[in-house]
Chain A
């Protein structure tokens, strides 16, 4: 049946078999057809809300500002000559890479700490640590904004309580960058934690027992057992998070609006400013698509590595 043959009732001679049904009927009874039909709503959603806007954005990015003329890759070439856009590229890379590294490290540590806790306490902590990831980021970022608020920063209030000078968290370029990365890490670390915890739980205890018999230290167990067994999930999580972090919008938009002096703009916020607020939709599309080829190549390499390792482990 797995090959998609037509279903017939066993033991019924062909002579008394039901009359031959139409091609459409046979097609409908194939498993692959059924599967296709069942995935059709999802395909429609992806087609309508992902594929279509993506190709439309590519089309828009190749038009002139008034959207009356095809200009090829001129918008992309123009962007590369702009100092502000060069900052945006640089800041997006700093933002995404440092946030993903921090999230991965924190998630890794938290997952290990949770893994060592007894099951009862673990559930409680797991739930609490997931809270930042569960709250809609627009709302939690607003709470962070209040903490960093230029005039009424609660963090500054505490700093002044211990005699330290207040910090212009969102007013100084360096601190503003730190603030947006911090909030992104706070929001995203639980995702890494839960993924790594799931991966840790799937590592067979026998491997650790064998390593212990061989006299492996804790560090050696981590390096030669845990990390190799988690490598695939680490790669996929980092890839996923990197793409999402590069595409971030809400945190920067709410906290700094790209300022001060454009020093916290990332692709999403700059694209919005150029495309929607300044009325240059083609250039905004070009900004938003700029990282796509690089991330696509990165994704291909990561996923190839994952596939290769999966085959090795299966073999």
Chain B
């Protein structure tokens, strides 16, 4: 074939990758005066939509003009995992964008094709202090930073709860517990999974059950992962050893989950990432675990509901206080032809001036990896209604909580498989839906996870 057409397998793959890249949404920003070279960017197409994308576009355009770099900016949606397909195609073809937004696990997967970012991270850490452990777990492999935690798209999935319903039916004043200030209020010390269980029961009895998904979509995986971690119930330790069967903490977490799911509607086992949002917006639930995107839609479609929503960390467990976290990361391909410009742009985007614009445009949804920025960014203080609703959305030092990636600290190549296949959620489903005995569930999980260890 190569003799006839002059095309090699690699050429065909390149053409395929170019096709995928070309078919992504909107490739608007192209500038002349390319003294600084060309740069192709594939950034995440923000849930918040055009305002967030427009802010990113404006920042990039401004930088491109000042640095005389000809930039092509594609916003690639994660709907239908299109971003994952683009990453996979470009990795195969060794051609495509210079910079891509990598979702949670895909830096580890493509680490051999990603340019070290130690220089950029070194300067950023020196200026803004350390990034959170979850971002470091995802972006720093060995002693090398293979990506830079980005602000756009990075989120927490703490509690998004109805102030009125929790107060009325569960006797919990969430505004008092987590005021829009750098201090904890009365009752915050009791915001743990036991309190949560009682509240779930009372709210269900009142007709407002907590909408906690338990399928294989990320909203389910993330909150269940944080809950397991807060019990110390790791399925695999950091060295890759399976710690399921003889682990009392895993048993405790499962036992707790079984009790909790007596008060959660059975249809939540089929829930996707939008089911919980819709339940909150429709006024049918008292609590979900979510970023402020559900509140933002409610603000537009159900203002009465939005006025009564408050964001704060998820409950603490017997071992630790964890809140689900889902970072996006900027990575530069080793086959990029303009690495210096790529790194310069990423460093520019990570400065607090740009971060402030991105957080503003996303109405507080986006979270920078550097906690030192939180107090200097006033978006979370200003957003309303109610005023301060997202103040406690980013994890602040006084929360004494830590961001959590489900299935960490397991080695990423094992963790990603447990994550995408929702092993913990399936363990719960087997116990709750099938009434399978604990031993059988643990044996099943162990067998599954053993399969993920293959090299």
Contact = CB atoms under 8 A, between A and B. Distances in A.
A152 interface: yes
B373 interface: no
Contacts of A64: 455
A305 interface: no
Interface string B189-228: 0000000000000000000000100011100000000000
A260 B270 contact: yes
Q: Which of B85, B267, B271 has the most CB of A within 10 A?
A: B267
Q: Which of A259, A262, A280 has the most CB of B within 10 A?
A: A259
Contacts of A78: 451, 454
A84 B448 contact: yes
Nearest to B213: A150
Interface in B255-274: 265-272
Nearest to A284: B88
Interface stretch (B174-182, B337-345, B413-421): B413-421
Contact of A151 (B275, B416, B426, B454): B275
Interface string A56-98: 1000000011100000000000100111100000000000000
Interface stretch (A1-9, A100-108, A170-178): A170-178
Contact of B266 (A65, A168, A257, A276): A168
Contacts of B413: 65, 279
B109 A65 contact: no
Contacts of B267: 150-151, 168, 170-171
A46 B56 CA distance: 41
B370 interface: no
A65 B454 contact: yes
B451 A151 contact: no
Q: Which of B106, B109, B417 has the most CB of A within 10 A?
A: B417
A276 B216 contact: no
B278 interface: yes
Interface in A2-18: none
Interface in A269-284: 272-274, 276-281
Given A66-B455, A259-B216, A260-B215, A56 B271 contact: no
Q: Which of B211, B279, B454 has the most CB of A within 10 A?
A: B454
Contact of B433 (A48, A260, A262, A280): A260
A65 B109 CA distance: 10
B444 interface: yes
B270 A150 contact: yes
B433 A172 contact: yes
A47 to B, nearest CB: 8
A141 interface: no
Contact of A83 (B84, B422, B429, B447): B447
Interface in B95-119: 105-106, 109
Interface string A117-152: 000000000000000000000000000000001111
Contacts of A169: 270
B430 interface: yes
A172 B444 CA distance: 19
A150 B216 contact: no
Contacts of B22: none
B400 interface: no
Contact of A259 (B215, B278, B430, B455): B215
A82 B270 contact: no
Interface in A242-260: 256-260
A151 B269 contact: no
Given A152-B278, A279-B416, A170 B84 contact: no
Contacts of A261: 269, 426, 429-430, 433-434
A52 interface: yes
Contacts of B9: 56
A257 B88 contact: no
B12 interface: yes
Interface in B74-104: 81, 84-85, 88
B167 interface: no
A168 B106 contact: no
A273 B377 CA distance: 38
B284 interface: yes
Contacts of B269: 168, 171-172, 259-261
A176 B270 CA distance: 9
Contacts of B417: 274, 278-280
Nearest to A171: B270
A281 B284 CA distance: 41
Contacts of B430: 261
B172 to A, nearest CB: 24
Contacts of B12: 48, 52
Given A64-B455, A168-B266, A260-B215, A273 B109 contact: no
Contacts of A170: 267, 270
A277 B270 CA distance: 19
A52 B5 CA distance: 14
Contact of B268 (A83, A149, A171, A172): A171
A259 B220 CA distance: 12
Given A151-B275, A170-B267, A278-B416, A257 B444 contact: no
Given A259-B269, A259-B270, A279 B81 contact: no
Nearest to B444: A83
Given A257-B215, A260-B429, A280-B417, A151 B279 contact: yes
A259 B265 CA distance: 16
A172 B422 CA distance: 17
Interface in B404-425: 413, 416-417, 420-422
A52 B1 CA distance: 11
Q: Which of A150, A172, A173 has the most CB of B within 10 A?
A: A150
B2 to A, nearest CB: 12
Contacts of A52: 12
Contacts of B215: 257, 259-260
Contacts of B84: 276-277
A171 B421 CA distance: 16
A257 B429 contact: no
Contacts of B268: 150, 171
Contacts of B434: 261
8 contacts: A52-B12, A65-B413, A65-B454, A150-B267, A259-B269, A261-B426, A261-B433, A276-B84
8 A-B pairs closest in CB distance: A150-B267, A170-B270, A171-B270, A279-B109, A277-B420, A171-B267, A171-B269, A278-B417
Given A84-B448, A151-B275, A260-B270, 11 more contacts: A64-B455, A66-B455, A83-B447, A150-B268, A151-B279, A151-B282, A168-B267, A171-B268, A173-B433, A277-B84, A279-B109
